[in-house]
């Protein structure tokens, strides 16, 4: 089953949801701002993404700019920031089994689903 980390207010996230719906595959939606992942869940997700935690950060968000930009942060610090401020989590994120992607650009989702 596919899991979509989704923010309904985000156009790219809504586009990702449509693509998943059109794929005909079973899926569930996690509205991560309403049900934020904890430290362990984010660590597992980052492992599935096969990227550094910083890849998950929306670095243009005001919270990031005001509190974290320009600081030397270890991976654990970035994960803690994402747990404390889930608005910083990039979206959409699509997870299936042991694989995950950040669905930007949207073509990544198309490739992931095929």
Q: How many other C-beta atoms lie within 10 A of the C-beta of residue 10?
A: 16
Catalytic residue selected from 2, 6, 8, 10: 10
Q: What DSSP character marks residue 57?
A: B
78 is catalytic: no
Give me the residues paired with residue 29 across strands: 4
Q: Which fold has domain 2-113?
A: Glutaredoxin (3.40.30)
The pair phi, psi for residue 33, each rounded to 5°, is -80, -30
Contact 46, 69 (CB under 8 A): no
- Among candidates 45, 47, 68, 48, which has minimal Cα distance to 58? 68
**What confidence tens digit (pLDDT) does each residue in 14-62 have?**
999 999 999 999 999 999 999 999 999 999 999 999 999 999 999 999 9
| β-strands 99-102, 93-96 pairing | antiparallel
In this prediction, residue 39 carries a pLDDT of: 98
**What confidence tens digit (pLDDT) does each residue in 82-109 have?**
999 999 999 999 999 999 999 999 999 9
* Domain residue ranges of the chain, discontinuous segments joined by +: 2-113
**What confidence tens digit (pLDDT) does each residue in 63-85 have?**
999 999 999 999 999 999 999 99
């Amino acid at each position: 089953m596919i899991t979509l980390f989704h923010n309904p207010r985000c156009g790219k996230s809504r586009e990702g949801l449509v693509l998943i719906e059109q794929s005909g595959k079973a899926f569930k939606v996690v509205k991560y701002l309403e049900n934020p992942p904890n430290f362990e869940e984010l660590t597992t997700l980052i492992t599935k993404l096969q990227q550094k935690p910083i890849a998950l950060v929306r670095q243009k968000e005001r919270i990031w700019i005001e509190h974290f930009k320009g600081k030397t942060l270890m991976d654990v610090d970035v994960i803690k920031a994402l747990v404390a401020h889930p608005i910083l989590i990039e979206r959409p994120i699509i997870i299936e089994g042991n694989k995950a992607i950040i669905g930007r650009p949207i073509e990544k989702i198309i490739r992931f689903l095929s």
